[in-house]
Amino acid sequence: MIGRFPILDISPVVEFGGEYVGAKAIINESLKISATIIREGHEGFSASVILLDPKGKEVSRDEMRENWPKSSRFEASIKPTSLGLFHYYIEVTANNPGEFSKRLVSHSEKFPIYVERERALVGSWYEFFPRSEGAIKNADGSIKSGTFATAAKRIPAVAEMGFDVLYLPPIHPIGYAHRKGKNNSLEALPSDPGVPWGIGNSDGGHDAVNPELGTMKDFEEFLKVAKKHKIEVALDLALQCSPDHPWVKTNPEWFTKRPDGSIAYAENPPKKYQDIYPINFDNDYPGLFAEIYRVVCFWIEKGISIFRVDNPHTKPVHFWQELIAKVNAKHPEVVFLSEAFTIPAMMHSLGKAGFQQSYTYFTWRTTKQELMDYGTEVAHHTSAFFRPNFWVNTPDILPFHLQSGNPAIFAMRAVLAATMSPSWGVYAGYELYEHVPIAEGKEEYRDSEKYEIKLRDWDGANKKGLTLAPFITLLNEIRRKNPALQRLRNIHFHNTDSDQILAYSKREGDNLILVVVNLDGLHARETMIHWDLWALGLEQDSFAVKDLLDGSEYAWAKDTYVKLDPARPNGKVAHIASVKIK
């Protein structure tokens, strides 16, 4: 039933499974509340948003304003200042102009907002395989695996590039049965190290570490080094097992069996994983849930506060809702990143189920229109329940646009990921322009690190200047110093006369950033940009800017000419300009 004054189309409201779940927010994030409010006749009214803390106490009351005259659409911004499940409602008041004058009041329902720590929204992620960091080639040509101790020596370089999250693929013992060889070969040589996602052997399962990487104490020392450099370590949570995993013997009911009694291996069409058994959640759900919860808490106690979850879309959604809720009830600091490159409905459902972040389709969005559409979608259409993490590459994905190896394209994609989304990610080797596919028409790396230990000459690349690391370092520094780039919902795309030049702005308070990107990567492009001054919050037609990439200063205007030439020496792929607010 509507109240005395209809309050309609309230946002953000997240409905999931027949109930309201908390719209996503972080501490001190400004969250816009909007609604359509009407009243019969021509009398006026006032409307306010009331924010209630987790104990139900009113903490703020903000007046709503109409977007434009007679639009009937009202909005106000609220800013929760602590963790927990907040609620808000809208109150509309007016005086009765009749003979018996009295104050008329209507209230909307109360709607939840789940407020989390900043890392749930903001982060610069870097991924490396510990076994490759510090690995060496022996005189006989064999490869000696890196360890937690040698990988820890790489942490200072990751921190120096400005990354604050280091994601590790599974660090557990790797199975031997049906172990994959080089380039996904079905026949592994004795020297092949196996795929880290084929978890488990006689040395243990999901609560053990691969002895080739060291001991549990070595891992704990690795975490100490990361903490010293202000880096959080994200651990892979991959709920599947090798045929050698202890669970296969202790709990065979946790796996799907074929009619002949054998256990079925995993498939994620068109990919097949003969070295992995998927888990079946329908035979002993309580027992399996308890064990997985135990494993997650085990690593939390070791100091892990972020989990990157492998293929969550192949597990029941209700399982994730229950698991994340139970973990966060005890450990509200824990963040779960969904690695679900699948249909939008599933990706969005996982966000509503509790995942704080998700991988996205950014990796494949390349044209101006695609980027504008997708940027608008994640910032304005789905941000109440889906937080994006823009990855430029992954061990599984070498997108076609990187396969030329053109450094300008690598730089351009890094700019887009680092400035469009508050969280972005880079898989090791990107800064070295690794770009060779396994075959024409395939988006996979040749000699993929999933199947072998990778030797990289970081120092040699630095000395020769054949690395994007300095540019990435600058991008992360710009992100760190500019609050506008640490928010999701503030992006606005501006019109340009070229289909190869993308322009957008982000503003947080007095921090206003303008980004202009040449999407070509090969040729100089020029255009006129038509800035929407109302979106920038500027009244003057001209304004001074400083390009944070090279320190250049410009006088820009409502209509601004730009030219970006990535091909010239020290080519320029983008402007990231800070506007001097008067």
Residue 297 lies in a domain: no
**pLDDT at residue 256 in the model:** 87
For the segment 217-269, what is each residue's pLDDT rounded down to a tens digit? 999 999 999 999 999 999 999 999 999 999 999 999 999 888 887 887 877 77
Establish if 582 belongs to a structural domain.
yes
Q: Where are the beta strands (DSSP E) in 84-183?
A: 84-95, 103-107, 111-116, 123-127, 136-137, 143-144, 165-168
Domain end (from 90, 116, 142): 116
Count of CA atoms in the C-beta half-sphere (13 A) of 193: 26
Q: Catalytic: which of 127, 244, 291, 339?
A: 339
pLDDT above 90 covers a percentage of the chain that reads 91
pLDDT band at 274 (very low <50, low <70, confident <90, very high): confident
User: Does residue 228 fall inside a structural domain?
Assistant: no
pLDDT at 322 over 80: yes
Question: Which pLDDT does position 199 carry in this prediction?
Answer: 97
Mean pLDDT of 280-284: 94
pLDDT of 348 over the 90 cut: yes
Active site residue 310: yes
The domain in which residue 569 lies consists of 402-422+438-582
| Average of per-residue pLDDT across 196-222 | 98
- Is residue 152 one of the residues assigned to a domain? no
Domain end among 116, 148, 183:
116
DSSP-assigned letter for residue 292: H
Q: Has residue 313 been placed in a domain? A: no
Which amino acid is residue 56, in one-letter code?
G
| Cis before 332? omega within 30 | no
Q: If you average pLDDT over residues 427-450, what whole number do you get? A: 97
Catalytic residue selected from 232, 236, 310, 520: 310
Residue 515: closest CA among 407, 382, 417: 417
Q: How many CA atoms lie within 13 A of 484 on its CB side?
A: 22
Residue 428: HSE in the Cβ half-sphere, 13 Å Cα cutoff: 25
pLDDT higher than threshold 70 for residue 100 = no
Residue 42 lies in a domain: yes
Pairing of strands 542-547, 553-557: antiparallel
The answer to pTM > 0.85 is yes
Are residues 455 and 143 in contact, defined by beta-carbon separation less than 8 angstroms? yes
Q: Which residues of 83-103 are buried (b: 16+ CB within 10 A; e: fewer)?
A: beebbbbbbbebeeeeeeeee
Predicted confidence (pLDDT) at residue 99 exceeds the cutoff of 90: no
Instruction: Please confirm, yes or no, whether 133 is among the known catalytic residues.
Output: no
CB atoms within 10 A of CB 523: 12
Q: Please give the tally of structural domains in the chain.
A: 2
CB of 490 closer than 8 Å to CB of 421: no
Q: What pLDDT score does 569 carry? A: 65
Burial class (CB in 10 A: 0-12, 13-18, 19+), 234: buried
Burial of 464 from C-beta contacts in 10 A (0-12 / 13-18 / 19+)? exposed
Q: Is residue 564 part of a domain?
A: yes
**pLDDT at residue 97 greater than cutoff 80:** no
Q: CATH no. for residue 443?
A: 2.60.40.1180
**Euclidean distance between CA atoms 326 and 425, whole angstroms:** 27
Angstrom distances, CA of residue 366 to CA of 5, 71, 392, 399, 439: 46, 36, 11, 10, 21
**Residue at a domain's end among 116, 146, 179:** 116
- Helix (H) or strand (E) holding 358, with range, is strand 357-358
User: What's the pLDDT band for 152 if we cut at 50, 70, 90?
Assistant: very high
With CA atoms as reference, report the closest residue to 299 among 224, 216, 357. 216
Q: What is the pLDDT of residues 64-81, one digit of tens each?
A: 999 999 999 999 999 999
For residue 202, what are the contacts with CB-CB under 8 A and spacing of at least 6?
173, 244
Task: List helix spans (H) across 7-82.
Answer: none
How does residue 567 score in pLDDT terms, banded at 50, 70 and 90?
Answer: confident
Q: Is the pLDDT score of 582 beyond 90? A: no
Is residue 54 domain-resident?
yes
